[in-house]
Each structure stands twice: as C-alpha cells, then as structure tokens.
Amino acid sequence: MKLDIDFVRSQFTQLDDDPEFVFASNAGGSYVCNQANEVLEHYNRHTRVQPYSRFKSSAEAGKAMDRAYQGWADALNIDRNELTIGPSTSINTYVMAQAIGDLWMPGDEIVVTNQDHEANSGVWRRKAHEKGVTIRQWEVERDSGLLDIESLFPLLRDNTRWVFFSHCSNVVGTVNPVPEIVKTIKSGSGARVFVDAVAYAPHHISDLKALGVDGYAFSLYKVYGPHQGLMYINGDIHGDLTSQAHYFNSGNPTKDFNPAGPQHAQVAACAGVMDYFDLLHQHHFGDNGNKGQARLEEIYQLILQHENELVAPILDFLQQHAGGAPAWQVPRPGQ
C-alpha cells in the first residue's frame, strides 16, 4: 500500500493557493491541516469564552480542550496530567529550566550536547551557570556528525542530575537511538533525561513510555497543527519540580509548567491534528480496529515510505559525491 498523496494534499487547503509553489520550509513549520483550522475557527466563532464553566459555550470550550489533551496523551502513551501544551518548545524549555534548575546545587552536573538546537541547550547552560552546576558537553563525532554513546559514558557521574539531547539531528537528520541512550544514562547514573523532538516529531509520533525519557518536547506547528509546543514531564517527578504557575494554579498539572496558562483556542485546535491522522488512517486502512499508537504506526509507515522516495535522489547524490560519507539515513519509526 502507498500513501495516497492526492488525498493528503486535499487536506491542506493552502496547497490550492499556488499549485506550482513548492513549500519546503521546515523551520517555518508545516502547513496547517484543514481539521485543525476547522476546530480553531469553530472555537473562535462559538466557544470563545472562559472554558470549564457550566454555561453551554463554556462547557463546550472545556470539552474541546479536553479532547486535545486526551487525544495527544493517548497518542504519546502518557497520562493526560503529564502533558503541558504551551506556547512553543523554546518557552517550554525556558520554563522547565526554572522548574528543574531550582533544585540544582553547586557540585551537581548536567550533560548537554553540541548537536542540539539552542532551545534545548542555552536555557540549561544559563541555569547551570547561575547555580554553580558543572556542564559537560557530549560532542558529535567530527567525521560523522553523530553522537556516539561510547563518548557519553565518561561524562556520567553519580552527581549527574539531567542529560539533555535531541531525538534527531536537525542538520543531518540522523536519528539518535533514544531507548538505548536512556538505558546507558540510567545504568551509569541517577540522571533524568530530557529529549528535544522538534525535528523528529514531524516524521514520527513516539510512544514515550517505551522511550523511557523523563521529559520530551516538540512543536505542533511543525506537525500540521497550531503554533503550540507539546511537552511531557514524567508524572513521577512532577511533584519534585517547582511549579511555575500563578499560586492559585499551582498543583494543576496542565498549568504548573505553563505560566502563561493554556491558550484555549490553540489548545483545542491541537485535536484537529488527531482528526487528520484519524481520517488518514480511515482512508488507508478502513476500520481495522487498531487504536492509539498502533494506528499512528500504520500511518507513519506509509509516510516514511513516501519520505524515503522523496529523499532518495539527494541521498544517492551525496553517497556518490561525498567520498567516505557517513551513513546518511532518514528518521526511522520506532526509534
């Protein structure tokens, strides 16, 4: 079976504006699927009130937001209370630097990489400097541009508190084997693990419990959705971190790490991406009974197949022309 690309294209009305125009601006985000735009418009036209009160439009607004929280929690195989939907990944990590970093003491250590986007690097480094925490840098190999697990071992100590790295390189696209890295970290230290998946999530939505991470962040505006950042924080450590919410929201798991408070309409629109995935699944697989992650896996296999076809010419070219080139690979599901 192949991805029905005409069907996919029909779900993104913006593509009709100029059929000759090729949009390939990953950093700027993806086009927004029609389903997300529809939810956003419906929210703004009919339920643009403070959500979660008893009057009709407010109750509906709350339900629309709950649908997004629950849908994404199911997709990521996490508890709904472990999900923060904030303004962007940069803001989410900035907030977490306060929530996590508040607990750091002089003598503690963290590990960051030189493969990461600034959003998963600068915030932790600045907080570490402020708190007298030692920063160790896990560096990409000079020739391959890859992070090698062997070179992570010597950086881990008993007092390593957190390790921050990315799910895939946003330069060469190689996927880091997250479960293996997490296992290495947990066997070599008591450190917690935070992964930036902004570059990876557009290619694959992961089962976060299977990855074994403690924190995970990506941006939905690169996954066909509104400009929001989704962030998982392991419920086991939630209570140890300092709430960054207004005091009257403290202890509310969806607000503790989102001092701006949820952007109601945008949060609701996050459910539209799930509606799109559901439709894509229905179109290709009918009602085969699969749900949650299994459903997403089936869709992503089709998308991956299509991506591999698109990327093959450039990879072939690079392999032929870059003597001794590293083993280029596009992101694979299940990693």
Contact residues for ligand PLP, defined by CB under 6 A: 27, 88-90, 117, 119-120, 166, 170, 196, 198-199, 219, 229
Sequence-separated (6 or more) residues with CB below 8 Å from residue 260 = 86, 87, 91
> Which of 166/266 has CB closer to ligand PLP?
166
Report in angstroms how near the CB of residue 169 gets to ligand PLP at its nearest: 9
Backbone angles phi, psi at 109, to 5 degrees: -135, 150
Report in angstroms how near the CB of residue 90 gets to ligand PLP at its nearest: 3
Question: Quick check: 154 and 111 in contact, CB under 8 A?
Answer: no
HSE value, Cβ hemisphere, 13 Å, CA-based, for 253: 16
> Which of 119/156 has CB closer to ligand PLP?
119
> Which of 3/197 has CB closer to ligand PLP?
197
Backbone angles phi, psi at 70, to 5 degrees: -70, -40
Please state, in angstroms and as integers, the Cα–Cα distance from residue 142 to each residue in 9, 45, 148, 317, following that order.
40, 53, 11, 22
Report in angstroms how near the CB of residue 272 gets to ligand PLP at its nearest: 18
> Which of 200/300 has CB closer to ligand PLP?
200
Measured distance CA(226)–CA(239) in Å, rounded: 29
> Which of 116/256 has CB closer to ligand PLP?
116
Report in angstroms how near the CB of residue 295 gets to ligand PLP at its nearest: 26
Burial letters for 181-210: b for 16+ Cβ neighbours within 10 Å, e otherwise? Answer: bbebbbebbebbbbbbbbbbbbbbbbbbee
Report in angstroms how near the CB of residue 134 gets to ligand PLP at its nearest: 24
Report in angstroms how near the CB of residue 116 gets to ligand PLP at its nearest: 7
Instruction: Give the SS3 label for residue 108.
Output: coil
Q: In what order do the strands lie in the sheet with 229-233?
A: 83-86, 229-233, 215-219, 192-196, 160-166, 109-113, 134-138
> Which of 166/244 has CB closer to ligand PLP?
166
Element (H, E) at 299: helix 292-321
> Which of 90/293 has CB closer to ligand PLP?
90
Report in angstroms how near the CB of residue 46 gets to ligand PLP at its nearest: 28
**Measured in Å, how far apart are the chain's first and last C-alpha atoms?**
23
